[in-house]
Amino acid sequence: MKEKTLNDIECGHAARVVYVKGQGSLKKRILDMGMVPDVLVTVIRKAPMGDPIELTLKGYNLSLRQKEAETIVVQEQ
């Protein structure tokens, strides 16, 4: 079964972060924004072309580019 990334989650649905793919500064920046394992994330809305994606987690809103969201592996709730 293909693993789901944050980019695959539909608007209004929630998912739990499993892990962040990749390495280096991009991975560190995403982890620093609170995208750590076991965090519940809700997709608020996506721009018409899918970029960026607005999320809510830990009581704040966050916007990510589509490429960044593709590095976050999640489990849909």
pLDDT reading at 15 higher than 70: yes
Q: For residue 32, which phi and psi values (nearest 5 degrees)?
A: -65, -25
Tell me what pLDDT residue 63 has.
94
pTM exceeding the 0.75 threshold for the entire prediction? yes
Q: Please give the full DSSP string across the chain, using - where no structure is assigned.
A: -PPEEGGGSPTT-EEEEEEE---HHHHHHHHHTT--TT-EEEEEEE-TTS-SEEEEETTEEEEE-HHHHTTEEEEE-
The predicted-structure confidence for 36-50, as pLDDT tens digits, reads as follows 999 999 999 999 887
Find the CATH number of the domain harbouring 46. 2.30.30.90
Tell me what pLDDT residue 51 has.
85
Boundaries of domain holding 29: 4-76
Count of structural domains, the chain: 1
Segment 28-38 shows an average pLDDT of 91
pLDDT reading at 17 higher than 70: yes
From CA 68, how far away is CA 72, in angstroms rounded? Answer: 7
